[in-house]
Amino acid sequence: MIPHIVFLDRGSLPVPVPSPDFPHSWQEFPSCTPAALVAAAQGADIVITNKVAIDAAALAELPGLRMIAVAASGVNHIDLDACKARGIAVANIRHYGDDSVAEHAFMLMLALRRNLPAYQRDVAAGLWEKSANFCLFASPVRDLSGARLGIFGRGGIGLALAARARAFGMEVVFAERRGVAVVRDGYTDFDTVLTTSDVLSLHCPLSEDSRGMLGEAELMRVKPGAILINTARGGLVDEASVVAALKYGQLGGAGFDVLSEEPGRSDHPLLRARLPNLIVTPHVAWASQEAMSRLAGQLVANIASFVAGGRQNRVV
């Protein structure tokens, strides 16, 4: 049987995707709404999705589906239990964007420690030309060298960020999971990382245990003036509390590449705030040309492995 492959949101991967080297038929859609999912995937043996959620109800209407190839690392938008019960394989992409996301997180922390957005705003507003000195002392400028970086998540991205931070002379600690009784070797207690780090950077998956792990109570305990970076998942943080912590000076800055609802709407707390010590980018930390090309190649390799009877990058 020649497998029929349907890419539900091809527009989310703006690089060439290699053609599978086995007989197949291919259909793709630029994007796909939840309401259109079942119709789009009818007759598919293999479905490719980046961010289109696939739940148990949709799977029940797709009896011929054999594989879901996720064009991303995160699989929290797939009902894995339902896939397992129906014998549907699920494979994801791994380590394709470690460098890309780490570089983006590092860019955000460097810009915020140097107060780059605030100085850009001040120069554009003409404040430099009004200065009595040759320079403009408007916002504090802080070095990364000597600062402590607390990383939440010790996967490929967290390790890649740690290497960059150490090269800049930062002290790096990895946070243990919240609320655990025993701290593993190589990790530091969650609360200690929270209260002693100059920069906090999130690189952990979103799960029921990690959802909302930095809320109002946690943000009130961070080291005053600390910078928070989130290039992982929006749901890890109470975003309204981040805005409050920035306004009251508890946080010295925040850099977010992810929001709890995407694409971001103009009424979202982080987008509405318009603060000089807040940077929001549109979920592009993963999207360097190099990283997306690696993703595309791995995506097709995962599918080819499944068709050949293999289990490359299988989560189910």
DSSP conformation letters of 246-287: HHTTSEEEEEES--SSSSPPTTSHHHHH--TTEEE--S-TT-
pLDDT classification of 46: cutoffs 50, 70, 90: very high
Identify the pLDDT of residue 236: 97
Give pTM, 2 decimals: 0.92
Identify the pLDDT of residue 298: 98
Identify the pLDDT of residue 91: 98
Residue 206 scores a pLDDT above 90: no
Which tokens hold the place of 84? Answer: 């397992």
Catalytic pick from 10, 233, 268, 294?
Answer: 233
pLDDT classification of 208: cutoffs 50, 70, 90: confident
pLDDT classification of 152: cutoffs 50, 70, 90: very high
Please indicate whether residue 233 is annotated as part of the active site.
Answer: yes
> How many Cα neighbours within 13 Å face the side chain of 163?
9
**CATH superfamily membership of 4-96+290-307:** NAD(P)-binding Rossmann-like Domain (3.40.50.720)
Per-residue pLDDT averaged across 240-262, rounded?
A: 97
Q: Quick one: which of 233, 254, 90 has its CA closest to 153?
A: 233
In Å, how far are 14, 27, 287 from 72, measured between CA atoms? 13, 19, 11
Catalytic pick from 61, 216, 261, 262?
Answer: 262
8 Å CB contact between 292 and 52: no
Per-residue pLDDT averaged across 163-173, rounded?
A: 98
Identify the pLDDT of residue 123: 96
Please indicate whether residue 28 is annotated as part of the active site.
Answer: no
Report the distance separating Cα 261 and Cα 96, nearest Å.
Answer: 24
Pairing status of strand 25-28 against strand 46-49: unpaired
Q: Quick one: which of 203, 217, 48, 133 has its CA closest to 40?
A: 48
4-96+290-307 and 98-280 have identical folds: yes
The alpha carbon of residue 45 and the mean position of all alpha carbons in its chain are separated, in whole angstroms, by 29
Residue ranges per structural domain of the chain: 4-96+290-307, 98-280
Tracing tokens 């993703």 back to the chain, one arrives at 295
Please indicate whether residue 290 is annotated as part of the active site.
Answer: no
SS3 83: helix
Q: Percent helix, strand, coil in the chain (nearest 5)?
A: 35, 15, 50
Residue 226 scores a pLDDT above 90: yes
Catalytic pick from 104, 268, 283, 294?
Answer: 283
Q: 175-196 pLDDT, tens per residue?
A: 999 989 999 999 999 999 999 9
Per-residue pLDDT averaged across 144-170, rounded?
A: 98
Considering just the CA atoms, what is the radius of gyration of the chain in Å? Answer: 22
Residue 160 scores a pLDDT above 90: yes
pLDDT classification of 207: cutoffs 50, 70, 90: confident
Report the distance separating Cα 39 and Cα 149, nearest Å.
Answer: 47
CATH class of 98-280: alpha beta
pLDDT classification of 96: cutoffs 50, 70, 90: very high
8 Å CB contact between 200 and 221: no
Per-residue pLDDT averaged across 116-132, rounded?
A: 95
Residue type, 267: D
Per-residue pLDDT averaged across 212-228, rounded?
A: 97
Per-residue pLDDT averaged across 21-27, rounded?
A: 97
Q: 63-87 pLDDT, tens per residue?
A: 999 999 999 998 989 999 999 999 9
